[in-house]
Amino acid sequence: MELEQAMLGRRSIRGFTKDPVPRALLEEIIELANRAPSSMNTQPWHFHVLTGQPLENVREGNSTRMLQGVPPVREISDHGAYAGVHRERQVDIAKQLFAAMGIEREDKERRQDWVMRGFRQFDAPVSIVVCFDKSLDDNGTIAHFDLGAVTYGLVLAAWSKGLGSVINGQGIMQSPVVREHAQIPDDQVIMTCVALGWPDESFSANDVKSVRRPVDAVARFVGFDS
């Protein structure tokens, strides 16, 4: 797949088949993502690739704690409530997804189930927990930037191999559960996770593609001839 084709075609996949993903293919994807740039070549990232019973344990632990009302426990700062145009974009994509799935505003049960899908890693056959070296935590914003780069590389590489994925902050909102079952060392900070697998073509929300602003709305060109 050409790079431009992958970048334009990639979208977040939230419904997966139950087919397993071969370890060799996952290693190929991680090898590609590992070429991402990082500050001063520090390469602060670590991937913990879960499937099978460890992933089921994470799903169960996340879901149980959230349904019991246990407050989220993340190892990085939460973004808090979005406002203004950022909130508008958040609401717009939610409306697209609910419309695709036929979930009405009044249908509290299905809306709740949709929320819980994130804590279940979207029922994907693989979840990749993305961490960075704790020794860099005092300068976390730079490490966060580096992990953003490598995570985009990860989802783009997966798409190029026919796999779908969604970057899933919900999946690590109960980080003690994830740390326990993924056996993550104490010298690493949990940043996010990526739910990954073969896209389920019958899952309507997989067809949703978010609207992006045009170039003239996001970029300024200074010093160029008009």
* d(C-alpha 18, C-alpha 82), whole Å: 34
Residue 73 bridge partners (DSSP): 174
* pLDDT for 139: 67
3-state secondary structure 70-95: CCCECCCCCCCCCCHHHHHHHHHHHH
In this prediction the pTM is 0.94
- Measured from the Cβ of residue 120, the count of other Cβ atoms closer than 10 Å reads 22
* pLDDT for 140: 67
Q: Is-contact 123 170, C-beta < 8 A? A: no
* d(C-alpha 200, C-alpha 141), whole Å: 35
Q: Is-contact 28 163, C-beta < 8 A? A: no
Sequence-separated (6 or more) residues with CB below 8 Å from residue 31? none
Q: Is-contact 168 195, C-beta < 8 A? A: yes
The angle formed by the CA atoms of residues 158, 124 and 174, to the nearest 5 degrees, is 110
Q: For the chain of 226 residues, list the mean pLDDT of each consecutive stretch of 10.
A: 90 97 98 97 97 97 94 89 94 94 92 92 97 85 94 97 96 96 97 98 96 95 90
State the angle between helix axes of 175-182 and 52-67 in degrees (0 to 180), rounded to the nearest 10: 160
